[in-house]
Amino acid sequence: MSGEPTSERSGQPRDEAARGASEEGSATLGTGGEPTSERSGQPRDEAARGASEEGSATLETGGESEKSAVSFASHGGSATLDPAEKGVAVLSPGEEGSVTAGGSYPPEVRARLEQDAKEIIVRYPRTRSALLPLLHLVQSEDGYVSDRGQEFCAEMLGLTKAEVVGVSTFYTMYKRRPMGDYHVGVCINTLCAVMGGDQIWEELSEHVGVGHDEATPDGKISLERLECNAACDFAPVMMVNWEFFDNQTPASAKQLVDDLRDGKDVSPTRGPKKLCTFKEASRVLSGLTDDLAGDGPSAAGASLEGLKVAKANGWKAPEA
Ligand code: FES
């Protein structure tokens, strides 16, 4: 896989936007729309905001000697974190509200991440422009953009913690709590929705027992309601760790997740034959290749129908 996420691999218009922002390195981006979770009824990333708003208060006190109580009201849990230990809150998959004190990366992990980060940073003319890939890098380590991960990014890039948090909480591909080994997205944007995407989401969420951006207690599966994956010609579309599963039905979606939970080999419709984990996919999105970018079929079938018709009729794009 190439260093840059392609539409085939990532399938995410958001990621395109993310890359644009990476070049700008801006930390002052506004907030996007916030669809609610049909299952939980919670605003999108409520937990993220809770962690961000409440947790960031802890970070601000991180340099002080007294302990700070942090209330994760949206999860119904609370924890007292020790700022002397950097006050890192770690959420476990499926255990909303459970917070355990964590710390900085162990030295050997930190050394490995630093080496990876340096390889990424030198690709950018401005150091701060490497923020988005570095957020993917720490997500590849922790399964989400952890507090210690954001601190790591800030240190490596000479940014403030607030600048890092401002970016990481904007983009939906950066998760504020651990996702499953297999992060399953169901497109609920217009075309997929009318072709069955809404029904797939309803039934799959019920089947798995979790809602938007929530993970199963065993940490294997997390679900996300996705906006358009730029694969409308294969609607309704699902993605697992950003690989496409085209032309889905509620039954095929549930079978797919059951197979993943049972450890069976599952092949995406396009791309590499074997799925990687969410952490592995995050590492690729950071720009550290797994050399699988060219594997498997890419554009085919429905994607090429328009081109065939245009060629048959001699149609060409108007001159600029
Ligand atoms: S609406 Fe689902 S891929 Fe475009």
| 10-60: pLDDT as tens digits | 333 333 333 333 333 333 333 333 333 334 434 334 333 333 333 333 333
The pTM (predicted TM-score) of the whole model is 0.68
Hey, what are 51's tokens?
Answer: 């962690």
The answer to whether the CB of 80 is under 6 A from ligand 1 is: no
| 55-93: pLDDT as tens digits | 333 333 333 333 333 332 333 333 333 333 333 344 454
Give the per-residue pLDDT at 294: 74
Q: Tell me the CA–centroid distance for residue 201 and ligand 1, in Å.
A: 14
Alpha helices of the chain — where are they, by DSSP H?
13-24, 46-50, 56-60, 107-121, 131-142, 147-157, 161-168, 190-192, 198-208, 250-261, 278-285, 302-313
What's phi and psi for 40, nearest 5 deg?
A: -90, -20
Please check whether residue 176 is in contact with residue 48, taking contact to mean a CB–CB distance below 8 angstroms. Answer: yes
Give the per-residue pLDDT at 254: 98
Cis peptide, bond prior to residue 93, ω within 30 of zero: no
The answer to whether the CB of 191 is under 6 A from ligand 1 is: yes
Question: Is residue 6 predicted with pLDDT exceeding 60?
Answer: no
Please check whether residue 195 is in contact with residue 238, taking contact to mean a CB–CB distance below 8 angstroms. Answer: no
The structural domains of the chain, ordered by start, are 13-168 (no CATH), 182-285 (3.40.30.10)
Please check whether residue 128 is in contact with residue 157, taking contact to mean a CB–CB distance below 8 angstroms. Answer: yes
Please check whether residue 48 is in contact with residue 167, taking contact to mean a CB–CB distance below 8 angstroms. Answer: no
Please tell me whether residue 255 adopts helix, strand or coil conformation: helix
Which of 15, 200, 228 for mutating ligand 1's site (highest number of atoms within 8 Å of CB)? 228
Placement of tokens 């010609």 in the chain: 233
Which of 232, 242, 243 for mutating ligand 1's site (highest number of atoms within 8 Å of CB)? 232
Q: Tell me the CA–centroid distance for residue 14 and ligand 1, in Å.
A: 13
Question: Which residues 6+ apart lie within 8 Å of 22 measured at CB?
Answer: 124, 129, 130, 131, 132, 133
Q: Tell me the CA–centroid distance for residue 220 and ligand 1, in Å.
A: 25
Crossing angle of the two packed helices 131-142 and 278-285, in degrees rounded to 10: 160
Q: Per mean pLDDT, which range of 34-43, 193-202, 242-251, 282-291 is the poorest?
A: 34-43
The answer to whether the CB of 237 is under 6 A from ligand 1 is: yes
